[in-house]
Structure 1
């Protein structure tokens, strides 16, 4: 999963630091919660999930990779 996430976000330096599944899920939750954005302009978790799923669907990943990564995003978004 870590490799898939890194393929999805190749320009993000922070993705290169991810080594474990726990770190991956933590980083994905930060993304879904839009924690790195100023509070006044943050998007909702649903909006961030929709953007992530769109990026996944438009990526060069295989269909099975897309399905796996999308499932993890959805699982984390429902927490």
Structure 2
């Protein structure tokens, strides 16, 4: 398993022209949550969690990252997607 520093560096390498303040596991998980929530996009142009998840997985798989980093980043995205879906369900209850 990779260290938090390796994973944050791997995540940052996915984004060439984006300024990310990701330096530990907490900020990495927040960045993933923001990405899946499409937080950097105008509300009327946002995609669903599932659409953003697919785009993120494609970006990870098409990157030059090693398989270990790819799997770990996909795992973190999956974990965050589940949390977002679960929280969305609670907010609509």
TM-score, structure 2 length as denominator?
A: 0.77
When Rg is computed on C-alpha atoms for both structures, the one with the higher figure is 2
Among candidates 59, 65, 71, match of residue 63 of structure 2? 59
1:1-79 correspondence runs (5 A): 1-13=7-19, 15=20, 17-79=21-83
Q: Deviations over 1:22-75 (max 9, x none)?
A: 111111101100112111110000000000000011000111111111111111
Number of equivalent positions: 77
Across the aligned residues of Structure 1 and Structure 2, the Cα RMSD in angstroms comes to 1.0
- Once residues 62 and 33 of structure 1 are traced to their aligned partners in structure 2, the CA distance between those partners, rounded to angstroms, is 26
Partner of 2:88: none
Unaligned runs of 5+ in 2: 1-6, 84-93
Unaligned runs of 5+ in 1: none
